[in-house]
Amino acid sequence: MTQNAPPYTSSLLRLLSERGYVHQVTDAHGLDALAAKQIVPGYIGFDATAPSLHVGSLVQIMMLRRLQQAGHKPIVLMGGGTTKVGDPSGKDESRKMLTSADIAANIASIRTVFEKLLTFGDGPTDAVMVDNDTWLSALGYVELLRTVGPHFTINRMMTFDSVKLRLEREQPLTFLEFNYMILQAYDFRELALTAGCRLQMGGSDQWGNIVNGIELTRRMESVEVYGLTTPLLTTADGAKMGKTAAGAVWLNEDALPAWDFWQYWRNVDDRDVGRFLRLFTDLPLDEIARLEALGGSEINAAKVVLANEVTKLVRGAEAAAAAEATAAATFAGGGVGADLPSLACPDGSIALIDALIGLGFAASRGEAKRLIAGGGARVEGHSVTDEAHVIAFQGAEIRVSSGKKKHGVLRPA
RNA sequence: GGACAGGUGGCCGAGUGGUUAAAGGCAGCAGACUGUAAAUCUGCCCGCGCAAGCGUACGCUAGUUCGAAUCUAGCCCUGUCCA
């Protein structure tokens, strides 16, 4: 639930708060006043560990979009430098060291998504993308200690939740992690100095880092800067956003086809529809209120709107339209849509098992058989329980499905 | 460097010589019910095989044994404490 909105005067804070982006602000009224009288350059940091960001980062990206919509300047900070060190917090994953080339390629790939959602350029409110590697790798350790070190007291660092939590739980906190917050703080100070940046935003887990940056900037440069965090975004059933059977919901087209991306939004929990519409689409609030109020099965219309709008923003209007058309044809009409995964079969017949594997519905023959045995495999919408079933076809496309939601097409080669 | 604890399937977590492809939970997939939702109930959930079965798997390596996730030794890694 969003808290009752304070009476903000700036369009920025009004926009952010009424759309549900605001969790905590360091100095809401100070920021409000600043945003009302000048262009506020604000930044959010992103990881460069993979060639694509996923849905979990979309709130942050959208927040930069809102910043720009409200007439301010978004700065996309890519963590090229911090990625080199390797973020130690995700300790479940074996941290493979990325080469500089990998990181550069990742950043280039991620940038394509930002270009859809933000307007880049040289103008006063145009977005820019920077890489903290630029300044971090130029920094010597001793120099870092001398510049930044005096402004951090261990006493204070110990009071941060991220640190406290680890200590209380007797979980290890490495020295590297302890330094990580210093590097993050340094980013803010650097951007404040070189780009006039006055605001850092991020997920609620970044609160401590953001506050550190604010503190450091004030101490070193005597500049007042602000921080704002979004609520931790989970789906209504409590899971972290962005996971599906196939893995993460990636924002880049080459990491996840538009059809699957669209389906992700089409299938969100009823309870999430309004919240997601506010966060992830540009629809006017009264329109969203109307959609959100739909009851029973009518809420499905709102989900289609959600899927269309988000896909349009992230993947383009064409992809959204194609996905919707495919959905209409596939689910309502019982036919096939152009966007479905397809498999070309050379000689006019194929074993059902192979078709399921070829379409990516089963990872192994055993899995395909289990699917068939469980009644989940369908040909032309009819459940087939014979494991040895062979599909023969002449000329026409044949629809093969796994369950009621995952559909694919067989095409004669 | 020393003492202790521990490393089990995507995750958590039982299992201390055969009955263990490994309890249970979570996640996932499918079926029923629905609205391409949620909740609930049911089935499935290492690979190959129509099947009998075969292969692979309990940190790594080498042993003991008819037989090891379970015992022994060495090594690697993680945690706690001491130096």
**Phi (first) and psi of residue A254, to 5 degrees:** -75, -10
Specify the amino acid at residue A83.
Answer: T
Q: What is the pLDDT along chain A (413 residues), one digit of tens a residue?
A: 444 556 799 999 999 999 999 999 999 999 999 999 999 999 999 988 778 888 888 999 999 999 999 999 999 999 888 776 655 444 333 344 567 888 899 999 999 999 999 999 999 999 999 999 999 888 888 888 888 888 888 887 777 766 666 665 555 666 766 777 788 899 999 999 999 999 999 988 788 889 989 999 999 999 999 999 988 777 666 666 665 545 678 899 888 889 989 999 998 888 889 999 999 999 999 999 999 998 788 999 999 999 999 999 999 999 999 999 999 888 876 667 788 888 888 777 888 998 898 888 888 888 899 899 888 899 888 888 888 888 887 778 888 998 888 888 888 87
Which runs of E-coded beta strand occur in A6-46? Answer: 24-25, 41-46
Rg (CA), chain A: 24
Q: Which nucleotide is nearest to A369 (CA to C1')?
A: B44
Strand pairing partners for A398? A410
pTM: 0.86
Protein-to-nucleotide distance from the CA of A166 to the C1' of B62, whole angstroms = 40
Measured CA to CA, the distance from residue A190 to residue A15 in angstroms comes to: 27
> Residue A94, CB, less than 7 Å from strand B?
no
Find the helix or strand (DSSP H, E) in which A140 lies: none
> Residue A352, CB, less than 7 Å from strand B?
no
Per the listing, tokens 């506050």 go with A211
Are the C-beta atoms of residues A372 and A385 closer than 8 Å to each other?
A: yes
Per the listing, tokens 């609620």 go with A204
Listed residue (A70, A98, A65, A66) closest to A82, CA to CA: A98
Q: Cα A78–A39–A79 angle (5° rounding)?
A: 5
Measured CA to CA, the distance from residue A351 to residue A271 in angstroms comes to: 41
> Residue A170, CB, less than 7 Å from strand B?
yes
> Residue A404, CB, less than 7 Å from strand B?
yes
Protein-to-nucleotide distance from the CA of A364 to the C1' of B52, whole angstroms = 22
